Structure 1
Amino acid sequence: MTQRRTGETMHRLKTLGLTVSLALIAAPATAMAAEPAVTELGGTLANGATWAAEVPADWNGKLVLYSHGFRPGPDNPAWDQGFDSTAQALTDRGFAVASSSYASAGWALGTAVDDQLGTLAAFSAAAGEPDRTIAFGTSMGGLVSSLIAEVPNSGVDGVVSTCGLLGGGINLNNYQLDGIHALAELLLPGQELQLTGFRTGAEAGVTINALMGAVQQAQTTPEGRARLALAAAFMNTPTWFSGSTAPGHKDYAAQQVAQYNWLLQTIPFVVGSRSSIVNAADGDSGWNAGVDYRALLQDSAQRQQVEALYRSAGLDVRGDLRTLTTTADITPDTDALGWMDRTSTPHGNLQVPVLTMHTLADILAPVEYLEEYEETVREAGSNALLRQSYVERTGHCTFTDAERTAAVLAMDERLDTGRWANLAEPKQLDRRAESLGLGGADFIKYRPAEFVNDRTYTAGHGHGNGHGSGKGS
């Protein structure tokens, strides 16, 4: 906690079977005008999840219910320090902020929605029922918040989902599998390498070490760089890594260097984290049996780059695509697939307005996910409730306090007026953000490319909420 959140516990009370702590935090007299006092609340839910909240002295009756992202553990606090400065910006403007740890670290989707709604109930018991609640999530928490938006009569009035895994957990497993399948088959041919079903970090570590060595070696030759670009396309790897502007539209070499740098960061995290999802679902939902990798590349926004690099290297991309298709034989654990569909997959049935916010180059939550989410919502007939916004920046969840606060204020006005009008337009969001005195903003008009990894598994009882041309069976 920051200094403004220190203080003695003044009261303890039990409400609805929940242990709740309350402390009045008084700011120093010299800072009172700029930093009003806040009341700190907290407690433990019945399943062991902890929760924390801050209520400003001039509370406007509105609550921001914050859902944090993936945490490998073992530390799993209720309050997320990464959201601390934004929480201060919100409490300074009269909003209360509450969050929970979820009942477990890692892939917590089995309980996370209930944990957040339990936090809302605990907060209401301790501080009084909010006049309005806006759920706000980042990364995995963005997925949690989007799932809350589908719960009827949840007590949440609107949702802001930022850098969210909005393609859902099934698609998450599959797009990552498509990328590492290509790396393994093209860079380590004939080598038996585990790609799914990791239960421990040690199992994942063997695969990580093999892939990292192969990727670094491949970058030293034109042939290897072409194959890295192909694998990167299947993993929705951005072609912009750093700097204020992206490489030129046809600067394929610079785009590939960006993808290489992203892969070095991505492989250890996504392969290393997969065991958390596998253990939560008690099986791996990922599969590629029946996937036509030629069709995936055909629909990819990076197809021209891949084909150009293959031509320069003197390689036949069609041959490599045939190899990937004929060796794709991984099937899912169908019970795990069903669990992921129930707990970790948006179905688009929105009950309340949702505003999404995403950077253009996000390796852990590809911006293409937003195309998939919009399609899911539209097919469910809820598209009037959805608006999407984009920030011209690289990185996962690299938003400014101004951008985050502006998104909350835009949703607050949407709930006041009952209509979107121009509230989610980039110029309007920019103006609102830059008027707050919290730093800059870089909202931009943007439309993401097709997410090509969605597919339906027909041999089992689960499904991948697939759309489009049906690239898997």
Structure 2
Amino acid sequence: MPAVARLALLIGVSLFAPISLAKGLVTETGVLQGAPWRIDVPERWNGELVMLAHGFEPVGAPRESAWPANEATPALLGAGYAVAQSGYRTQGWAVAEGVADTERLRRHFVSLHPGTRRTWILGFSMGGAIAIASLEQQPDHYAGGVSLCGANLPGEALAGELLTTLVAFDYFFPDAPGLPADGLASPAAADLPQMALHQGIAAALQTRPEVAQRLARRLEVMPGELAGVISLHALVFHDMAKRSGGMPVGNRDTVYRGFGDDDAFNAGVRRHAPDAAAHDRFTAAPALTGMLRQPLVIQFNQRDPTITPRMQAIYPRLAAQAGATPPPTVLPAVGEGHCGFSDEQTIAALKAAAEAPGAGTP
């Protein structure tokens, strides 16, 4: 198995696996402006379409020649929905590309099936941000949407959370063997193979287990998940930096809380200034605003190490500040881990969007 795939499995990034689909359906695959896509229409189609947005795919992860079906696809088809899903033209933190490529595929589907009654958008993890951005930017195209285990944060807010993780590790575990002296947010860390980065982090955490437990509490994860979470945060942060051409956010003025002796932490933590041009490029991409005009259902898993409670609270607060109409519906957490939803739970979340006040008919 390639190193990037091993790392993805280790840190909980979902890679695509072969699944069985029902007989009697019509499947098409292709490429639109560099983005692979897949469309599945069940034999007994209810006339409604689900645009399915997948999560973060590490850069370099191998892709199949034809875009594979997400594991939620059979349940959606069994419930009567057609499913269209784009692989996006780029890997990594591809929210902007995901929004554009998903919209391009939606138009393609409607051109093939002009009698489509209603269209929904459903996203997992990073795909949750794509789903919400699509609802905000293209409300007339959707009857509503669902974000499951979603990274429902504006890009700048998420990058700030990731940077916090990296500088906190550097503070508590300076000079860790095998890791760059300039810290996990440095270009040297970005150049380190991801598996080596993970191994160096895991080894350092084992040297001071009581400190690792303190860091895990602050980051809202279990100690056994900490190395994988830090590795994932480094992977995504460096992808953002590469896309932006430099440090996309900084922490020069950040006042940190919850790390034990906060005065000592704030005095000693490594500070980074954002690269001005990189920051401008990073923030120029459309960000989540909270301005909703179609129903949105949000649901998370219990004890999700990837999207922690602190992150989960951001978008509902943003929507309240923006006066979203209707406000998002946040369902009680179910399951365990990251994106650990059963087929029944996925369908139930979609039905909740359909039953929400203001559900449209695009």
Q: TM-score range by the shorter chain?
A: 0.7 to 0.9
2:305 to 332, 357, 363: 363
Q: Distance in 1 between matches of 2:321 and 2:63?
A: 36
Answering whether residue 109 of structure 2 is matched by residue 127 of structure 1, we say no
* Shift, 1:60, TM fit: 1.3
- How far does the alpha carbon of each residue in 1:338-372 deviate from its partner, in whole angstroms, 9 at most, with x for none? 33334363111113111001012111111322211
Q: Which residue of 1 aligns with 2:255?
A: 292
In terms of Rg, which structure is larger?
A: 1
Over aligned residue pairs, what C-alpha RMSD do you find? 2.7
Answering whether residue 326 of structure 2 is matched by residue 380 of structure 1, we say no
Q: How does 1:55-94 map to 2 (within 5 A)?
A: 55-72=41-58, 73-76=60-63, 79-81=67-69, 83-84=70-71, 86-94=72-80
Q: Which residue of 2 aligns with 1:40?
A: 27
Q: Distance in 2 between matches of 1:273 and 1:365?
A: 13
Q: Which residue of 2 aligns with 1:245?
A: none
* Shift, 1:75, TM fit: 2.8
Distance of aligned partners of 1:268 and 1:370 in 2 relative to their CA distance in 1, 3 Å threshold:
closer
Answering whether residue 40 of structure 2 is matched by residue 50 of structure 1, we say no
Deviates more, 1:149-158 or 1:182-191: 182-191
Q: Distance in 2 between matches of 1:364 and 1:102?
A: 22
* Shift, 1:269, TM fit: 2.6
Kept after mapping to 1: 8 A contact 2:326/2:358: no
Kept after mapping to 2: 8 A contact 1:193/1:207: no
Look up the equivalent residue of 1:42 and give its one-letter code: T
* Shift, 1:206, TM fit: 6.5
* Shift, 1:139, TM fit: 0.5
Look up the equivalent residue of 1:410 and give its one-letter code: A
Q: Distance in 1 between matches of 2:305 and 2:286?
A: 19
- How far does the alpha carbon of each residue in 1:143-194 deviate from its partner, in whole angstroms, 9 at most, with x for none? 1111101114551221100111112332222222222322222232799333
SS at match of 1:111: helix
2:82 to 82, 86, 96: 96
2:237 to 270, 274, 279: 274
Q: Distance in 2 between matches of 1:267 and 1:291?
A: 19
SS at match of 1:390: coil
* Shift, 1:107, TM fit: 1.5
Look up the equivalent residue of 1:335 and give its one-letter code: A
* Shift, 1:271, TM fit: 1.8
Look up the equivalent residue of 2:169 and give its one-letter code: L
Q: How does 1:382-461 map to 2 (within 5 A)?
A: 382=324, 384-414=326-356, 418=358
2:181 to 174, 192, 200: 192
Deviates more, 1:271-280 or 1:337-346: 337-346
Answering whether residue 329 of structure 2 is matched by residue 340 of structure 1, we say no
Q: Distance in 2 between matches of 1:154 and 1:76?
A: 32
Kept after mapping to 2: 8 A contact 1:68/1:141: yes
Look up the equivalent residue of 2:250 and give its one-letter code: W
Kept after mapping to 2: 8 A contact 1:201/1:275: no
Kept after mapping to 2: 8 A contact 1:208/1:271: no
Kept after mapping to 1: 8 A contact 2:53/2:102: yes
Look up the equivalent residue of 1:406 and give its one-letter code: A
Kept after mapping to 1: 8 A contact 2:135/2:294: yes
SS at match of 1:347: coil
Answering whether residue 202 of structure 2 is matched by residue 212 of structure 1, we say yes
Kept after mapping to 1: 8 A contact 2:246/2:278: yes
Kept after mapping to 2: 8 A contact 1:205/1:272: no
- How far does the alpha carbon of each residue in 1:436-473 deviate from its partner, in whole angstroms, 9 at most, with x for none? xxxxxxxxxxxxxxxxxxxxxxxxxxxxxxxxxxxxxx
Q: Distance in 2 between matches of 1:116 and 1:55?
A: 17
Bigger RCO (CA 8 Å, 6+ sep): 2
Kept after mapping to 2: 8 A contact 1:67/1:144: yes
Q: Distance in 2 between matches of 1:274 and 1:57?
A: 43
Q: Distance in 1 between matches of 2:345 and 2:122?
A: 13
Distance of aligned partners of 1:80 and 1:397 in 2 relative to their CA distance in 1, 3 Å threshold:
farther
Q: Which residue of 2 aligns with 1:264?
A: 227
Q: Which runs of 5+ in 2 are unaligned?
A: 1-17
Kept after mapping to 2: 8 A contact 1:292/1:325: no
Kept after mapping to 1: 8 A contact 2:144/2:359: no
Q: Which residue of 2 aligns with 1:159?
A: 145
Kept after mapping to 2: 8 A contact 1:140/1:164: yes
Q: Distance in 2 between matches of 1:150 and 1:359?
A: 24
> Percent of pairs identical after alignment?
24
Look up the equivalent residue of 2:345 and give its one-letter code: E
Q: Distance in 1 between matches of 2:291 and 2:126?
A: 19
2:264 to 316, 322, 328: 322
Q: Distance in 2 between matches of 1:419 and 1:116?
A: 21
* Shift, 1:113, TM fit: 0.4
Distance of aligned partners of 1:263 and 1:62 in 2 relative to their CA distance in 1, 3 Å threshold:
same
Q: Which residue of 1 aligns with 2:125?
A: 139
Kept after mapping to 2: 8 A contact 1:179/1:232: no
Q: Which residue of 1 aligns with 2:15?
A: none
Kept after mapping to 2: 8 A contact 1:109/1:343: no
SS at match of 1:397: coil
Kept after mapping to 2: 8 A contact 1:150/1:349: yes
Kept after mapping to 2: 8 A contact 1:175/1:234: no
Q: Which residue of 2 aligns with 1:434?
A: none
Q: Distance in 1 between matches of 2:163 and 2:215?
A: 10
Answering whether residue 89 of structure 2 is matched by residue 110 of structure 1, we say no
* Shift, 1:141, TM fit: 0.5
Kept after mapping to 2: 8 A contact 1:69/1:140: yes
Report the count of equivalent residues.
337
Kept after mapping to 2: 8 A contact 1:123/1:129: no
Q: Which runs of 5+ in 1 are unaligned?
A: 6-26, 28-36, 220-224, 239-258, 298-305, 307-316, 421-473
Q: Distance in 2 between matches of 1:162 and 1:203?
A: 30
